[in-house]
Amino acid sequence: MADIFNEFSKNVSKTLRTVQAKSQTIVESVKIKKEISGFESKLNLLLLELGRMFYTSFKKDELSEEKMEDLEKKCNEISKIEDKVLELKKELENLELKEKEKIYGRVVIGKCPNCGGVIYEDDKFCGSCGAPVNIEAPKEKTDKIICPNCGKEVPAGSKFCPECGFPFKPENK
């Protein structure tokens, strides 16, 4: 009977960790997606403005050096916003990978180049498509573990999580 209760308790704890991790990810990803949307709206307006500037100058046969400098400034402004959007999309992807670390308590080292599935430290094959893994684990990650209770990175060899107090046992590491 105690084994059944312990198993039930473990399942409830895992479910709560999963819900907590997914909730945090949803809140953060909504913020990032809203920010991306704002930048993309601004980008569309700048592109429209650039097109109008060029067309007006071209139509009037006024593509002087000064006008070209104005067009170049607008293009540079557009490039900066595009870079920011790419940075935010990468942040969104990293957020999703961190969620997997919190849920499964394993260090994520990347995504499968074949299918985009998550690759964990020590995986030899992709868990989604079975492709061989050729991604090297980052060296700085190997001396850390992820607390299965709260998802915080903890130095390897710790007996307890400094964030939530979760006791580590050999099978938790």
| pLDDT tens string 34-50 | 999 999 999 999 999 99
Per-residue exposure over 67-102, b if at least 16 CB sit within 10 Å of its own CB, e if not: beeeeeebeeebeeeeeebeebeeebeebebbbbbb
> Stretch 135-162: mean pLDDT, rounded?
71
Q: What is the pTM of this model?
A: 0.60
Residue-wise pLDDT for 128-148, tens only, equals 999 998 765 444 445 778 887
Predicted pLDDT at 173: 41
Tens digits of residue pLDDT in 74-129: 999 999 999 999 999 999 988 888 888 888 888 998 888 889 899 998 889 999 99
By the 10 Å C-beta count (0-12 exposed, 13-18 middle, 19+ buried), 54 is classed as middle
DSSP 96-163: HHHHHHHHH-S-EEEE-TTT--EEETT-SB-TTT-PBP-PPPPGGGTTEEE-TTT--EEETT-SB-TT
**Which pLDDT value is given to residue 141?**
45
Average pLDDT over residues 154-161: 81
146 or 57, higher pLDDT:
57
Q: Is 40 exposed, middle or buried (0-12, 13-18, 19+ CB in 10 A)?
A: middle
User: What's the length of the chain?
Assistant: 173
pLDDT of residue 170: 56
Q: Which residue carries 């991790």 as its tokens?
A: 21
Find the Cα–Cα–Cα–Cα dihedral 48, 51, 52, 54, rounded to 10°.
Answer: 160
Instruction: Name the phi and psi angles at 94, rounded to 5.
Output: -65, -35
Q: Token pair for residue 104?
A: 């499964």
pLDDT in tens, 17-29: 888 888 888 999 9
For residues 169 and 139, which has the higher predicted lDDT (pLDDT)?
169
Rounded (10°) angle between helices 65-104 and 2-59:
170
Q: Report the pLDDT value the prediction gives residue 136, as an integer from 0 to 100.
A: 54
Q: In sequence order, what are the beta bridge partners of 118? A: 111
pLDDT for the residue numbered 135: 60
